[in-house]
Amino acid sequence: MKRWSGASAWGVLWAWALATPLAWAAEVSVAVAANFAAPMKRLAVVFEQTSGHRAVVSLGATGALYAQVINGAPFHVFLAADQKTPQWLESQGQAVEGTRFTYATGRLVLWSATPGLVDGQGEVLRTPRFQKLAIANPKVAPYGAAALEVMERMGLAAAVRPRLVQGDNIAQAHQFTASGNAQLGFVALSQVMVDGRLSSGSAWVVPAHLHPPLKQDAVLLKRGVDTPAARAFMDFLRSDAARAIIRAHGYED
């Protein structure tokens, strides 16, 4: 898990600050699925600028973050990579009923840091042109589970399985691919998209019909029920400004 904060009991994390001083009214601790790292970084800055509250962000696989919530991690808000995990938290009394909503719908992409390696139909998966294919751990990461579903539907699961390498989460799967340790990787579109364009390499945006929709739900956790900054962040996430940032990173409404 990677986490952003200034100084925290939970570890050394990424931090960002505004250029001008601002008196923070409060902090909200947000658990965020790793695929949403890039838009969350921007969202946190805009949230701070507009509300005065500071978002302290912890990144990880949805399943791993869920386990932390169950074990008492002091998160106020959870931005999952699926819908079922926030639903479970509601049913287990860990989340506030009536606060859950879909904040983004993600897209899966087959990506390579090598230009020209990935074709427009993903047929490279049927060739010997790669040695390793990186995916997120499907047991805890919805994007990893979606990648397995794609390979099943393409009839490639058995053939590709010996070449799979698993990251703990989608961020690590991207790291494996970006470094060249894996020639291909199933990653989130938001990880390789900048201002609506592919940042580098070559990619195939996986057709949505090849896997279940990657609808991502946010929910207010019980620890955040009496935290004004938590409720303010949930409201901000629904705002036009937040929606524009989310869409700019390759997510759909």
Query: Is the confidence at residue 40, as pLDDT, over 50?
Result: yes
d(CA 92, CA 77): 16
Cβ atoms of residues 234 and 77 within 8 Å? yes
Looking at the structure, tell me whether residues 188 and 126 fall in a common domain.
yes
d(CA 99, CA 161): 39
Looking at the structure, tell me whether residues 112 and 147 fall in a common domain.
yes
Q: Which of 131, 204, 196, 126 is nearest to 164 (CA)?
A: 131
Looking at the structure, tell me whether residues 62 and 79 fall in a common domain.
yes
Mean pLDDT computed over every residue of the chain: 91
Looking at the structure, tell me whether residues 143 and 196 fall in a common domain.
yes
* Structural domains counted in the chain: 2
Domain that holds residue 84: 2-105+213-248
Q: pLDDT value at position 199?
A: 87
Of all residues in the chain, what percent carry a pLDDT higher than 70? 91
Looking at the structure, tell me whether residues 24 and 50 fall in a common domain.
yes
**Chain centroid, CA 167 distance in Å:** 14
pLDDT digits (tens, 9 = 90+) for 129-145: 999 999 999 999 999 99
Cβ atoms of residues 135 and 164 within 8 Å? yes
